[in-house]
Chain A
């Protein structure tokens, strides 16, 4: 096991690490000599969301357990971290470095996982999903009612600057926090990946694939589910701890149904069957939620449509989409798809643009116009009252759609041909 072969097998982890550190510099404000706080916070959000989504996938993708209340593990972890930070500050416990603070979140999530999981994992499939729904509602309501632990509406505020660090860093700037977050996210992701190779991880996959058969292997499926839930809680709690470090305030919305829905969307859009899907999904969901939402109030509609398209046509998620190319790539004939892709990309873009135009026009008429916003496409102001933009929008959707159908057929022909060739050569998808 020499270092060179290790590097070659896991070079993609290193590549992602480098990318995560390099991307913020694309938004660096050179004129003012400082990082873009917005970009850093957005990427921090993506990193911690990725950990949260990966922990969710431990349940959904690995164990086949659909959970509607995963946010309670995240939220309790976040609250735990906030209380720990305040406790450390109040009692001047200087031997705990700031770098290890997210572990407090992990512990919180673990404890919550033990409690909630005991109840939830007694059942599986739909019953499990509904129990988590009920538990989620109960926890979210409790967060508003009980002040001592949850701090009521104002939540628990904390300060991450505790003057104690392994490397002497104060974590006052967003960049420092971001670096810590990336390291933690990497470690958490690596540990979760390792877990999929353990006997527990494999048994979880087995219970997902064939529940009845698994019982014959000898492991109690209930205990498999329970342990998987507890570990998922640990990692969700770590994500919660990272949340506390970034925002320095924890409020009841960290436990709410919306947060759980985010994890679900991220994991599913990205792709639940592989390992890395949720990471990509988290980037997409955060990008849409906190990025696109700045420009349009219809972002939720786009998210919903994207989600439905994924569910109906690409159940493997975005990662699934990419993995489908593997047999062709292994044949080395990926470039043959270049032209067909171009041919469907154009009508696809036209259809999408038409759809976006239509939605934006509709939103503008009922909501946006009164808000004083002016609708502009590529800088040109558009009047939502006149008929022309509507006609153009609908025409683009319909026309683009029909064109897409035609080109799509040709593309599919090419695609199937390549897949057949791959099969003929013995390369299995």
Chain B
């Protein structure tokens, strides 16, 4: 075996690695950095990409108003390729640079990894703490059994979204069919929707309840056959991605008289995949829609989203990003410090108004936000309240139902451990 071989190999590896590190772009020292990790490449990259655009826009808006304590905010994205290990590497990167915040939206498995890692890191390194801003991982456990002082969730959790969906069902619906993906999230949706139906709408009969393997079903026609045979009027599903769009396409193609209630039809790629066949039939539980501001008569919010449209030729779907940064800004100003522990103490319990002028509260018990939610109906642009369309398809979301924040307050089992110093 050649001697120099191994040395050469090791040197080559080191060289590559050192080159990567050395090429690290120098980040400006005086900005408040918010690390952001999501899948930015690979099969789920479209969500991460859409998020990044909107976040950058929201941060520019906050910075234009002066930032906080004389410093501007800076977003530092890290691609985690849907792998928890890469998200943890991103966390290490963030803590190395003493960033006070890490934000993550997509994937409850990644969120579970992050919340545990943040807890451990903050325990073991009290002088270099970090706050975890959750912008979309919805597993209910994260603010119940797994709750943490350092974690702030800015989107409603699965249980709350399920409650919104049930509350939006019209009085004429008496038979529903449940279909979900066979993993923790889908099973949670299944469980929570059943519980809320029993509570709020005992008149509704559940005529079917299915679980499908995640991302594996290529042909949904057999399921549509079953749904038709059951006589269901509405299909309640937590499906996302092709599992959702293929299901709806199969249903529309078979001419079945069904309304589809989803959680994710409005996210990046959904409207294009569903197409005109879904008009008037598909509903989605959403945190924000560009069509709410015109309905409420809020000119400022409408101008905000219109500006984004002009810039990116894409719609603005996540009002909560602006809410997050406004909360961060307000907490830093209130705490008059950039120390994570002081920011966290200032942020919990904070009550503000979001960009639509509606009340928003960050509950102190479990760091779960209480905000208004909407149910949008997929319809042609120009019908009803559809002033703006989605993804240039000529179809958009009409916010037909509004559920106020006070209506989705749910008890929590969180026993939060607060740090002493």
Query: Which residues of A are at the interface with B, using a C-beta cutoff of 8 A?
Result: 11-12, 15-16, 19, 23, 26-27, 29, 32, 36-43, 45-46, 141, 144-145, 147, 152-155, 157, 159, 172-174, 243, 246-249, 251-253, 258, 276, 279-280, 283-284, 287, 289-295, 297-300, 318-319, 322-323, 326, 329, 367, 370-372, 376
Taking a contact as CB atoms under 8 Å apart, the answer to whether B21 and A322 are in contact is: no
| B116–A248 touching, CB < 8 Å | yes
Cβ of B185 under 8 Å from chain A: yes
CB distance from A161 to the nearest CB of B (A): 8
Q: Is B95 an interface residue (CB 8 A)?
A: yes
Interface of A is mostly: helix
Q: A251-B113, A293-B79, A299-B41 are in contact. Are A155 and B182 (CB under 8 A)?
A: no
Chain B contacts of A12 at CB under 8 A?
1, 3, 5-7
Q: Find the A residue at minimum CB distance from B3.
A: A12
A253 touches B184 (CB 8 A): no
Contacts of B96 in A (CB 8 A): 29, 36-38
Contacts of B25 in A (CB 8 A): 295, 376
Give the distance to chain B from A52, nearest Cβ to Cβ, in Å.
Answer: 12
Interface hub of B13, B16, B78, B83 (most chain A Cβ within 10 A)? B13
Please provide the chain B residues from 174 to 214 with a CB less than 8 Å away from any CB of chain A in the complex: 182-185, 187, 213-214
Q: Is the CB of B92 within 8 A of A41?
A: yes
A297 with B5: CB separation less than 8 A: no
Residue B88 lies at the interface, judged by CB distance under 8 Å to chain A: yes
Tally A-B pairs: CB < 8 A. 179
Report A-chain residues with C-beta under 8 Å of the C-beta of B13: 46, 280, 283-284, 287
Nearest chain A CB to B416's CB is how many angstroms away?
18
A356 and B22 CA atoms in complex are apart in Å by 18
Which of A36, A43, A145, A153 is the one whose CB lies under 8 Å from B139?
A153
Interface of B is mostly: helix
Let me know if A153 and B85 touch, CB within 8 A. Answer: no
B297 at the interface (CB under 8 A from A): no
Q: Which of A26, A45, A289, A326 contacts B2 (CB 8 A)?
A: A326
A-B contact pairs, 11 of them (CB 8 A): A15-B6, A37-B95, A38-B96, A144-B184, A153-B185, A157-B113, A287-B16, A287-B20, A293-B79, A294-B79, A323-B5
Hey, which chain B residues are within 8 Å of A155, CB to CB?
A: 84, 109, 112-113
Minimum CB–CB distance from B5 to chain A (whole Å) comes to 5
Known contacts: A283-B16, A287-B17. The answer to whether A153 contacts B84 by CB under 8 A is: no
Q: Which of B10, B113, B139, B312 contacts A249 (CB 8 A)?
A: B113
**A-B pairs with lowest CB-CB distance, top 4:** A152-B184, A153-B184, A372-B56, A154-B112
Interface residues of B in 271-304 (CB under 8 A from A): none
How many residues of B sit at the interface, in one of the four size bands?
A: 35 or more
A136 to chain B, nearest CB (A): 13
Chain B residues near A (Cβ < 8 Å): 1-10, 12-14, 16-18, 20-21, 23, 25, 40-42, 45, 49, 52-53, 56, 75, 77-79, 81-86, 88-89, 92-93, 95-96, 98, 108-109, 112-113, 116-117, 120, 124, 139, 141, 146, 182-185, 187, 213-214, 216, 312, 314
Q: A249-B113, A251-B112, A291-B17 are in contact. Are A173 and B124 (CB under 8 A)?
A: yes
The CA of A46 and the CA of B42, in the complex, are separated in Å by 21
A19 to B13, CA, bound (A): 11
- From the candidates B12, B23, B40, B79, name the one contacting A280 in the complex (CB within 8 A): B12
Bound-complex Cα distance A280 to B10 (A): 7
Point out the residues of chain A lying under 8 angstroms from B86, CB to CB. 289-290, 293
Q: In whole angstroms, what is the CA distance A40 to B2 when docked?
A: 29
Return the contact of A371 from the options B7, B56, B183, B184 (Cβ within 8 A).
Answer: B56
Q: Is the CB of A38 within 8 A of B112?
A: no
Residue in A19, A32, A253, A276 whose beta carbon sits within 8 Å of that of B84 in the complex: A253
For B77, list chain A residues within 8 Å (CB): 371
A249 with B112: CB separation less than 8 A: yes
Complex partner residue of A154 from B23, B49, B83, B141, CB under 8 angstroms: B141
Option from A23, A42, A283, A297 in Cβ contact (under 8 Å) with B40: A297
